[in-house]
Structure 1
Amino acid sequence: MPGRTKAFVKSYGCQMNVYDAERMTDLLAGRGYGEAGSEDDADLVVLNTCHIREKATEKVYSELGRLARLKAERGAEGRDFRIVVAGCVAQAEGVEVLRRQRAVDLVIGPQSYHRLGELLTRAEAGERVAETDFAVAEKFQALRGAPIPRGVAAFVTAQEGCDKFCSFCVVPYTRGGEVSRPVAEIVAEAAALAAAGVREITIIGQNVNAYRGVAETGAPSSLPRLLERLSCIEGVTRLRYTTSHPIDMDQELIDAHASLPMLAPFVHLPVQSGSNRILKAMNRRHDADFYSDIVERLRAARPDIALSSDFIVGFPGETEADFEATLALVRETRFASSFSFKYSPRPGTPGAERDDQIAEAAKTERLAILQALLEEQRQAFNAATVGRTVEVLFEKPGRHEGQIAGKSPYMQAVHVTGGSELIGSLLPVTILAAGSNSLAGRIGGPMREAAL
C-alpha cells in the first residue's frame, strides 16, 4: 500500500522483549512492511519497551520526543509516519502514554501484540488506540507459526508471566500470571527453526523453570522433559533456557544438566541479594543457604557448569551488613558473568511504598564495589578458559577479514580464523587468549572438561 513500506522495531530489556520484537517484525512483514535499518529510514516505528527500572521508562519518553519531531517533519513533507509503543511500559501506563505524547498512534501491551495488524488498521483510520488486555492463551494460539530465523541461534517462548510477586518487580502486573505453552507448539516451532538452519534454541520465559505446559498426552510437562523432547530434534546442537527462579530449580532440572549433553553448562540464576533479611523483604522465598545448595548440586551434576546472576543493591532497608552479605555470597559462588543494578522504585510495588529508601549516593557506591568484584570474577573466568578446548557455535563473520565469530557454551564471544562456510557449525576450539570482552582461539584440539 502507498506509504507503507518499512518498519523499525526497537526493543529494550529482556530476552522476552527480543523475541516479541522479532514476532512483531514478522507480523508487520505479513502486512507488507520491510525491515528498516533505523527510525530515520522507517514509516512505522515500534518501541518495544521495558518497565523494570525508572530510567528505562524515562528513556522511552525521551525517545518518543525525538520521534514526535521526526513525525512532524514527515508530515510537513506529506508523508505518513506511525509511532507504536509496545511492551511493558505500554501495559503499565496504557492511555497515559497517549496523553503524555500526542504523536503516539497506538499503545499495545505484550499480551496483545498478536492483534497488531487490526489495531494498526484502526490507527490508520485516525483512531488513537490503547490495547492492554491480558490474552496470553489467545496470543500463543495466534503465534503458532514459526518466526522467521535471523541467524543460527533463536529464542522460543515456553512460558510467560510470573506468580512470585517479588516486592521490587512489576512483571506480574505488566505480564500477568504464569502461563505455559503446550509442548507440541514449542516443539513444532523449534523443529521449524531447526529446519531453516537454526542450531541453538534458547527456551525463554519470565520464570522459565516454572514451566508446566500440557504434553500431547494431556499430562503436565516440566521444563526438563521439554528440554529432553527438544534434544531429539534433528539439527539442534545446543539448548539453553532462561530466566530461572531459585525456588523452581528442582533436582529434575539439575539432573538434566548431567543427562543432556547438548544442554549448555551455563545457568542464569538470579539471586538478587546475599542477605537473608533483604531476601525476605524482597519476597524472594529463598535464602542464601538455599541458593548456595542449588549451586553445589549443579556443580556436582556437571563439574564444568558456570553461573551468572542478577543483583539489586540498595533495596529499602539494606544496611552495610546486608551489602557485605551479598559480597560474601559472590566471593563464595564465583560467577562467570552477572548483571547488577541500583534499586529503582517502581510504582505499585511494595518496595516503592517503604519509608526506608536508601540514599542514591550509597546505592551508587555499593554498586561500584559490587560491579568491580563481579568484573574481577568475569575476567578470571575468561582467563581460566585459556588452554582449554570448548565447543563453539559459529554465528557470523568476524570483525576482520578471514575471521568468524561464535559463542562458547558459557556465552563468551570467540573469534577464530575461518571461512563463512563454517557458520552454523559446532566445532572444538582451543582458546589461545582472553581479551576484555572476547576470546581468541583456533579450530581443533582435544575436548576436555574441567571445573572452572
Structure 2
Amino acid sequence: MKHFNKKLTFFIKTFGCAMNENDSEKLSGMLKALGYVEENDINKVGLVIFNTCSIRENADDRVFGNIGAIKTVKKTNPDLILAVCGCMMQQPEIVKKIVRTYPQVDLVFGTHNIHQFPELLNNFLVNGQRMIEVWEDSDAIVEDLPTDRRYPFKAFVTIMNGCNNFCTYCIVPYTRGREVSRQPGKIFNEVQALVADGCVEVTLLGQNVNSYGNDLEKDVNFANLLRKLNTIENLKRIRFMTSHPKDLTDAVIEAIADCDKVCNYIHLPIQSGSTRILKAMNRKYTQEDIINRVQKMKDRIPDVAITTDIIVGFPGETEEDFMETLKVIKACKFDSAFTFLYSIRTGTPAATMENQIPEEIKHDRINRCLEVLHQIGHDINQNYQDRVVEVLVEETSRNNPDRMTGRTRTGKLVIFEGDLSDIGKQVMIKITDAKTFSLDGKKIEQEETDGRINPYDDPVPENS
C-alpha cells in the first residue's frame, strides 16, 4: 500500500461560475467537517482540488495547464493528492484524456455526485488506487451538505440544478443535467437559517432561475419564491442568477418591483441581438422580445441595473448580424456585459455548423462591441456622481489595503476609505468619482443623510 502524507490540509481552485463557487464552498465544508484545514501554499498542502468549468475552450486549457503543473509539485511532495471535479468531468472524452495522459490525478468526480467526495477520498486513502466516479445525471438535489461560506454575511443558495434549453453552443445541459428544482420550503428554511447565522444577503442560483418550479406543484414558481423569501425578517438583500430571457415573465418583473429586499439588478444574457442568429442558437426569442423585456423592466423597476452576456462570432454570424447586436446594446443600454468569443464545444450542435468565423473577425467584432458597451457603462455610471448609495461592504481593496470595496443594490462596485470593522455592514457612501468600471466614494454618517433610509432618495435622472 502506498504511504500517504498525513497532513490534513487542502487547497481548492475554482474555475467558472457562481454554481461552481457554491460547489467549492460545499467541498470545503465537507473537508473541514473531516478535520482538514485550508492551506494556500500549494507546495505544502496535502490535498489539491480543481473544480472545473467547461463553458469555454480557454477554461479547459487553463485546467489542463494547472493539472500539468502539479506533476512538478508532486516530485517534491509525492504524497500530495490531486482531485479534479466539476463540469469538465461530465464529458467522457475529458475523463479519458485525464486517465490516459495525467497520472498525477488521483480522484475524479462530477457535478452530480459531489456529496460522494468524502467517501471517494477515504477509499483512495485506504486502497491507494485511483478513483474515477462520475454520475451521468441525477434527478435530485442533495440537501444539507456542510458549507464553508467565503463571506459570513452573504451566501449562495442553490434553488435548482440543470437546464432544459439546449442552446446549440452550450455544453451545460450535458454537464449539469436536466432541470431539478428544490422544494420551496427547504429553500425558505435554508435562508432563514443563514439569516440566523448572520447572513444579510443571499444569491439564489440556478442555470435558469426563471424556470424554477416547472417540475414541481402548479403554484410553485420563481415569482412566488421571491415574494416568500422577501418576508424573512432581518434578511436585507436578495439577488439571483441567471435569468433566461424567454422565461422572464411579467410575474417575475412585478415581484422584483414589489419586493423591497430583491435587488434592482438583473443579469439577462441575451447572447446576440440578431433574430436570425438567436434562432440558430435555439434561444427561442427575438430581437424585439429583448428590447420589449428590457423596456418593461425599466418601466416597472425603479433604478434597475441590467447586465448581459454577448457571444461574438457564432457560426454564420455576418457583419449585418453583428450590427443587429450593437443595435440592441444601444437600445437596451446595458450597464455592463460579459463578452465572449464563440468557442467550439465538442458535442454541441454548433460545433459542426458550417461557416465558422475566423478568429481575426471575432477579435475585431468583440473589440467594437466592447467600445460601445464601455461608453454606455461610463454614461450610466456618471448618473451616480454625487449620489448617496447604500453599500454592503465585502472586503479590502486588492490594490489598496487602506480602502474597502462593496456593492450597491444595483451591483455597482464601490471603493472607499474605511476599515475592517465595516466588512459585512451596510454603509452609506457618497460617490465622489464615477468611473467606467467602478465608483469611488466617501463614507458618510447617518446624520449626513438627512434622515433618509432609502439609499435611492437621490434618483437616477429620467434620461439615464
TM class, shorter-chain normalised? over 0.9
* Match of residue 259 from structure 1: 258
- The CA deviation at 1:122 is 2.1
* Match of residue 106 from structure 2: 105
* Match of residue 422 from structure 1: 422
1:288-307 correspondence to structure 2 within 5 Å: 288-307=287-306
The secondary structure found in structure 1 opposite 2:391 is strand
Distance of 2:274 and 2:424 partners within structure 1: 43
Say whether the 8 Å CA contact 1:24–1:113 is kept in structure 2: yes
* Match of residue 88 from structure 1: 87
Distance of 2:133 and 2:299 partners within structure 1: 48
Deviates more, 1:268-277 or 1:116-125: 116-125
Per-residue CA shift, 1:180-230, capped at 9, x if unaligned?
A: 111122122222222222211110111111110788xx6551112112222
Distance of 1:72 and 1:378 partners within structure 2: 48
Distance of 2:5 and 2:414 partners within structure 1: 45
* Match of residue 271 from structure 2: 272
Q: Does 1:308 align with 2:307?
A: yes
* Match of residue 25 from structure 2: 22
Say whether the 8 Å CA contact 1:213–1:222 is kept in structure 2: yes
- The CA deviation at 1:104 is 0.4
* Match of residue 143 from structure 2: 141
The amino acid across from 1:12 in the alignment is F
The amino acid across from 2:39 in the alignment is A
1:118-197 correspondence to structure 2 within 5 Å: 118-124=119-125, 125-134=127-136, 136-141=138-143, 143=145, 147-148=148-149, 150-197=151-198
Deviates more, 1:312-321 or 1:223-232: 223-232
1:267-416 correspondence to structure 2 within 5 Å: 267-398=266-397, 400=400, 403-416=403-416
* Match of residue 449 from structure 1: 459
- The CA deviation at 1:103 is 0.7
Say whether the 8 Å CA contact 1:181–1:214 is kept in structure 2: no
Distance of 2:161 and 2:287 partners within structure 1: 26
Say whether the 8 Å CA contact 2:162–2:173 is kept in structure 1: yes
Distance of 1:238 and 1:67 partners within structure 2: 40
Deviates more, 1:126-135 or 1:247-256: 126-135
Say whether the 8 Å CA contact 2:385–2:432 is kept in structure 1: yes
The secondary structure found in structure 2 opposite 1:94 is helix
Question: How many residues are paired up?
Answer: 445
The amino acid across from 1:203 in the alignment is L
Per-residue CA shift, 1:267-287, capped at 9, x if unaligned?
A: 000000011110000000001
Distance of aligned partners of 1:448 and 1:134 in 2 relative to their CA distance in 1, 3 Å threshold: farther
Q: Does 1:72 align with 2:82?
A: no
- The CA deviation at 1:380 is 2.0
Say whether the 8 Å CA contact 2:5–2:46 is kept in structure 1: no
Per-residue CA shift, 1:33-73, capped at 9, x if unaligned?
A: 11112423421111111101111101111110101211122
* Match of residue 7 from structure 2: 4
Say whether the 8 Å CA contact 1:114–1:139 is kept in structure 2: no
Distance of 2:360 and 2:285 partners within structure 1: 29
- The CA deviation at 1:149 is 5.7
Say whether the 8 Å CA contact 2:377–2:436 is kept in structure 1: no
* Match of residue 61 from structure 1: 64
The amino acid across from 2:439 in the alignment is L
Unaligned runs of 5+ in 2: none
- The CA deviation at 1:420 is 3.4
Identity of aligned pairs, percent? Answer: 36
Say whether the 8 Å CA contact 1:161–1:206 is kept in structure 2: yes
Deviates more, 1:386-395 or 1:200-209: 386-395
Say whether the 8 Å CA contact 2:25–2:147 is kept in structure 1: no
- The CA deviation at 1:430 is 2.1
* Match of residue 199 from structure 1: 200
Distance of 2:144 and 2:190 partners within structure 1: 13
Say whether the 8 Å CA contact 2:90–2:136 is kept in structure 1: no
Say whether the 8 Å CA contact 2:169–2:350 is kept in structure 1: yes
The secondary structure found in structure 2 opposite 1:367 is helix
Distance of 1:119 and 1:220 partners within structure 2: 39
Say whether the 8 Å CA contact 1:109–1:131 is kept in structure 2: yes
- The CA deviation at 1:397 is 3.9
Say whether the 8 Å CA contact 2:392–2:427 is kept in structure 1: yes
- The CA deviation at 1:358 is 0.7
Say whether the 8 Å CA contact 1:84–1:107 is kept in structure 2: yes
The secondary structure found in structure 1 opposite 2:43 is helix
Distance of 1:324 and 1:235 partners within structure 2: 46
* Match of residue 40 from structure 2: 37
Distance of 2:206 and 2:369 partners within structure 1: 27
CA-based RMSD? 2.0
Say whether the 8 Å CA contact 1:181–1:213 is kept in structure 2: no
Distance of 1:213 and 1:315 partners within structure 2: 30
Deviates more, 1:274-283 or 1:152-161: 152-161
- The CA deviation at 1:374 is 1.3
The amino acid across from 1:8 in the alignment is F
The amino acid across from 1:127 in the alignment is Q
Distance of 1:155 and 1:84 partners within structure 2: 23
Distance of aligned partners of 1:306 and 1:71 in 2 relative to their CA distance in 1, 3 Å threshold: same
Distance of 2:279 and 2:326 partners within structure 1: 18
Distance of 1:417 and 1:30 partners within structure 2: 37
Distance of aligned partners of 1:100 and 1:51 in 2 relative to their CA distance in 1, 3 Å threshold: same
Distance of aligned partners of 1:32 and 1:98 in 2 relative to their CA distance in 1, 3 Å threshold: farther
- The CA deviation at 1:121 is 1.6
- The CA deviation at 1:135 is 5.3
1:236-251 correspondence to structure 2 within 5 Å: 236-251=235-250
Distance of 2:164 and 2:5 partners within structure 1: 45
Per-residue CA shift, 1:129-168, capped at 9, x if unaligned?
A: 222214545542353x565462322111111110000000
Distance of 1:30 and 1:344 partners within structure 2: 39
Distance of aligned partners of 1:401 and 1:110 in 2 relative to their CA distance in 1, 3 Å threshold: closer
Distance of 1:401 and 1:109 partners within structure 2: 38
TM-score calculated relative to the size of structure 2: 0.91
